[in-house]
Amino acid sequence: MSTRQAASAHGHPESVADIAIVGAGMVGSTLALALADSGLKVILIDGGDLSPQPFLPKAPFEPRVSALSTASQRMLERLGAWPGIVARRASPYTDMRVWDGSGTGAVHFSAANVHAHVLGHIVENSVVQDALIERLLERDIQLLAGVRVEGMRHSQDERLLSLADGSQIRASLVVAADGANSAIRRLGGCATREWDYLHHAIVTSVQTEQSHRRTAWQRFGDDGPLAFLPLQASNGEHWSSIVWSTTPDEARRLMALDTPGFCAALGARFEYRLGRVLGADTRLCIPLRQRHARRYVEPGLALIGDAAHTIHPLAGQGVNLGLLDAAVLAEELLQAHRRGERLADVRVLSRYERRRMPHNLALMAAMEGFERLFQADPLPLRWLRNTGLSWVNGLSDAKALFVRQALGLAGDLPALAQSNVPAE
């Protein structure tokens, strides 16, 4: 797409857009696709390379994965990115088993509880990203790759972005989709509430002796939760993505182990539910911190995805919140555009905030509650979590409600995620 260009007062080229999206990750790319062919001038800016990488079926799994919900799948289908995902690799899962490693409580959730085929798909983040970029390259969106935003200021009723290459972008609306350590959120002076979990997460892909049986497994222990998320089997091998949350000292000890030592420790912690752990790929260790912006919007500025909120990566659900942010913001912007309203008007942007902030806060509170309950040492709380898990396991209605939440089908859904909206 060609945008109007002019020389700025400082002699640098200046591009003009209706919307500048900073960050072409999964959430920013989804927003750009949702705004394509709308008549709005959209520029998508990213500091990295935006060329889809050739997919090699025998390549190791990427350590960072997401559990895409049914709602997210619907959005990606309607935006044309889902075929590119399944053509690479995506691992459907039908069940979830959760248990207390320090007691006897356990609960089993199944897609069959709500007559669904799957609970979701475990997909490597890079697979989702490449499928989205492929679609963006076919659409009426300008991509600026390999450039960083170094400054942002008000210029009349617009925002002026200064890029590292000396160029500038003038936009009515800037959208921060640049992740948990968002430069745009910082440049915009957006306040956040943050706190450390006092845990680190070890993430990697592991091969197990037995099949995961298309099940997501989550064990809660005294020092943190451990998740095994099913990956697509190949050559008769059984692979899962793990997220092992533990104390910083224990994380350092585990990261220092050689691969056989790590696999032995992991198998024991997981109670050999899938037999022995036979091998592990490269491990990453990520300090865990929860963050939530006090406001998602300012005049001419909106935050989406991890730039607005980050949650515990235990079940890989964070991206679903971000994709819903993108779909709702696109919906509100397109409606405002049709009505002739200013996209930068905080009254327009607040409609997005009102729809998304309560949902995001509720899920963050639920994750925080789980984390605190399962790290509680007092005996009455241990009894409560054991009894509570077993009690919930016997309540079909409660389990069905949980499954609908996991599918992403509860609450205020944007049209892109609804079942009764025809695909393009």
Q: Hunting for tokens 């990488």 — which residue is that?
A: 53
In the chain, the amino acid numbered 139 is: R
Asked, for residue 355, whether it belongs to a domain, the answer is yes
Is it the case that residue 406 has pLDDT exceeding 80?
no
Q: How many domains does the chain have?
A: 1
129, 76 in Cβ contact below 8 A? no
List beta partners, residue 220: 100, 225
Mean pLDDT of the chain: 88
pLDDT digits (tens, 9 = 90+) for 382-394: 444 555 555 445 5
Half-sphere exposure for 345 (CA within 13 Å, toward CB): 12
What pairs with residue 163 in β-bridges?
149
CATH value at residue 76: 3.50.50.60
| pTM summary value | 0.90
The boundaries of the domain holding residue 78 are 5-50+59-194+289-417
Residue with tokens 């399944």: 86
Any domain includes 271: no
Angle between helix 379-393 and 346-374 (nearest 10): 110
Quick: pLDDT tens for 202-237.
999 999 999 999 999 999 887 888 999 999 977 889
Q: Is 67 in contact with 229 (CB distance < 8 Å)?
A: yes
- Lowest-pLDDT range of 17-31, 71-85, 319-333, 399-413: 399-413
**Cα of 70 vs its chain's centroid, Å:** 14
Residue 241 domain flag: no
- Inside any domain, residue 158: yes
At 195 the pLDDT is 82
Contact 21, 31 (CB under 8 A): yes
- The dihedral formed by the CA atoms of 304, 310, 313 and 314, expressed in degrees to the nearest 10: -110
Name the pLDDT band for 396 (thresholds 50, 70, 90).
Answer: low
pLDDT tens for 51-86 read: 988 899 889 999 999 999 999 999 999 999 999 999
Q: Is residue 227 part of a domain?
A: no
Q: Which residues pair with 78 in a beta bridge?
A: none
Q: Is residue 238 part of a domain?
A: no
Is residue 85 situated within a structural domain?
yes
Residue 311 is assigned to a structural domain of this protein: yes
